[in-house]
Amino acid sequence: MVIEDGYRPLEPGVHTDFSAELDYAGYLDLDTLLSAQHVRSDPPHPDELLFVIQHQTTELWLKLMVHELVGARGYLDADDLSRARKSLARVKHILRTVTEQWSVLATLTPSEYAEFRDVLGPASGFQSVQYRAVEFLLGNKNAQMLKVFEGNPPVHAFLASALSSHTVYDAFLRLVARRGLPVPTVVLERDVSLPWVEQPELVSVFREVYEDTTRHWDLYETSEDLVDVEDAFQLWRFRHLRTVQRTIGFKRGTGGSSGVAFLRRALDLTFFPELITVRTEIGKS
């Protein structure tokens, strides 16, 4: 196609009449999506839109993470490691995206945020239903968190179901046991509503996987996928902490938490501790 006078004509065959057909905006329901940004400061603060969009897009990515982690768990239950690994790979890329996204919010200076922070009231990311679902799916179960959602019965029921359901790690360990490796019965029959606690007996199981990769190649690769997910999640947590610290310093969070100190404690949480501990044992005589 020749461009003349800076003008590029439409190619033949490009659809232009959508009076009776589905168009891009209709498929994505953009009228709803783009009308969901409600700036509450009065007069409207020019930087509040950034704050709203940052968190709304994160919620969309969290929705996809929940979808992919539920999918990965189901594939593991069905002994479909290839499909499970595909879902875990997607989760890793989502986490990298939302981690980099903090750099956009970091352009919000402390002075700018202080000018509209009060309009948030007690609203806080601490109250994110989907974030909590992701943590539950990965093993950081905490029944106390359900109290935050008691005023919303459907949401409370959703998280209660997530709390009582087995995790992605549970599904993987059950698959490892079905492969004939000696996963302890106490692990396979544990109360899945409780947070994961490191099981020393599992370390020898993973040592066998890591020291005989020829025999256990797909289990080895999936173990590394899980470590990748945990690393990416921790980087996201850390970037969150640093962004909060540079924006509000050591103020309390809007939801009542201690702010940076609360986020720092989260860095001590781990989803798959045996996959880290086993690295100390590999190669020992």
Residues annotated as binding site for substrate?
Answer: 51-55, 113, 117, 254
Distance between CA 90 and CA 65 in Å, rounded? 8
Sequence letter at residue 240: H
> Binding site residues for heme, as ranges?
240
Burial of 248 by CB count in 10 Å (0-12 exposed, 13-18 middle, 19+ buried)? middle
Per the DSSP assignment, residues forming a β-bridge with 152 are none
Specify binding-site residues. Answer: 51-55, 113, 117, 240, 254
CA 239 from centroid of its chain's CA atoms: 14
